[in-house]
């Protein structure tokens, strides 16, 4: 038998409980119970922000009235620039997702839990143009490995399946046509699937390109190493007005060691460069 960790209501199976952290004993019967259970944590994070703002005299809160605030939050939840972690002795892992926008003139910091590589429960969102505030709020430990997977990438497409299939065959044809004999063999491509997530989540570059059909194409590129050999991994997506859109669909992903192929597929304008550490 199972009980809600907040209200102690009994539920029949573990499937009836909602969890907010990986490997956590705390399961809940409803969103309301989750919110009540973590209320003191929310208050802690909110108070910390307010105290620091008071101490540092930073009152740029009006910044959150920007029309695209929710979009900025969504983008931070999906592809943060940096991730920090605070782990307590009970095994609770608090994550901090930080994203810099507009040449770091706008910063979003989100305190949250992560479940199954997705942000689950958000404690609070801090939006500021002040790096001092962000530095003061930041947890000490930065997470370098992948904690989030950009799963929304294949969901909610406004493109029809036919459109996507059409693009898939176009890009595949382009790839086949221009591939050099000494490049990574097609048969080996599935051995590189493991690099998909890291390319999406921590790309060296994201480029935006409008193709012949006037569709938005987003190109994620990352330089990686496998078996002591360096290569580029490409993930090419279509759909959506912009990169923070939920409507991106993967057209093709592939590894290459060819400079020529790299140049051929690296199209458009760079919209996100390497994260500065
Ligand atoms: Zn409950």
Residues of the chain with pLDDT > 70, as a percent, come to 88
CA of 41 to the centre of ligand 1 (A): 18
List all residues 6 or more positions away from 146 whose beta carbon is below 8 Å from its beta carbon. 117, 197, 198, 201, 202
CA of 168 to the centre of ligand 1 (A): 46
Identify residues whose C-beta is under 5 A from ligand 1, the ion.
Answer: 4, 6-7, 9, 29, 33
The tokens describing 108, both together, are 């979003």
Dump pLDDT digits (tens) for 109-159.
999 999 988 899 999 999 998 999 999 999 999 988 778 865 344 344 456
CA of 147 to the centre of ligand 1 (A): 28
Closest CA to 148 of 50, 103, 57, 81: 81
CA of 9 to the centre of ligand 1 (A): 6
Average predicted confidence (pLDDT) for the chain: 87
Determine if the pTM surpasses 0.75: no
CA of 35 to the centre of ligand 1 (A): 10
Q: DSSP states of 78-94 as a string?
A: HS-SEEEEEE-TT--EE
pLDDT of residue 105: 82
Rounded to 5 degrees, φ, ψ at 198 are -70, -30
CA of 242 to the centre of ligand 1 (A): 39
Dump pLDDT digits (tens) for 34-73.
999 999 999 999 999 999 999 999 888 666 666 567 878 8
CA distances 99 to 56, 70, 243, 274, Å, are 21, 13, 14, 12
CA of 159 to the centre of ligand 1 (A): 40
pLDDT at 27 over 70: yes
CA of 6 to the centre of ligand 1 (A): 5
The end-to-end CA distance of the chain, in Å, is 48
CA of 257 to the centre of ligand 1 (A): 53
CA of 210 to the centre of ligand 1 (A): 49
Residues of the chain with pLDDT > 90, as a percent, come to 53
CA of 36 to the centre of ligand 1 (A): 9
CA distances 33 to 26, 50, 169, 250, Å, are 11, 26, 48, 37
CA of 263 to the centre of ligand 1 (A): 55
Q: Which of 3-12, 37-46, 62-71, 221-230 has the lowest mean pLDDT?
A: 62-71
In whole angstroms, what is the distance from residue 137 CA to residue 144 CA? 19
DSSP 3-state assignment of 136? helix
């Amino acid at each position: 038998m199972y009980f809600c960790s907040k209200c102690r209501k009994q539920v029949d199976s573990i499937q009836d409980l909602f969890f907010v952290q990986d490997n956590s004993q705390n399961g809940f019967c409803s969103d309301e119970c989750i919110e009540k259970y973590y209320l003191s944590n929310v208050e802690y994070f909110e108070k910390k922000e307010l105290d620091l703002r008071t101490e540092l005299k930073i009152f740029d809160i009006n910044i959150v009235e920007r029309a695209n605030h929710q979009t900025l939050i969504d983008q931070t939840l999906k592809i943060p620039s940096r991730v920090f972690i605070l782990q307590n002795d009970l095994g609770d892992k608090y994550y901090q997702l930080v994203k810099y926008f507009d040449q770091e003139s706008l910063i979003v910091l989100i305190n949250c839990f992560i479940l199954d590589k997705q942000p689950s429960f958000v404690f609070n969102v801090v939006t500021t143009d002040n790096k001092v505030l962000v530095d003061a709020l930041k947890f000490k430990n930065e997470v370098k490995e992948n904690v989030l997977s950009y799963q929304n990438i294949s969901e909610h497409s406004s493109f029809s399946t036919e459109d996507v299939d059409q693009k898939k065959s176009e890009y595949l044809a382009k790839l086949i046509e221009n591939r050099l004999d000494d490049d990574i063999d097609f048969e080996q491509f599935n051995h590189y699937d493991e690099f998909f997530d890291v390319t999406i989540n921590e790309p060296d570059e994201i480029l935006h390109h409008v193709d012949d059909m006037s569709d938005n194409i987003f190109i994620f590129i990352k330089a990686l190493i496998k078996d002591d050999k360096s290569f580029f991994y490409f993930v090419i997506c279509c759909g959506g007005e912009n990169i923070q859109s939920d409507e991106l669909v993967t057209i093709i992903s592939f590894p290459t060691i060819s400079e020529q192929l790299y140049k051929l597929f690296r199209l458009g304008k760079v919209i996100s460069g390497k994260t500065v550490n």
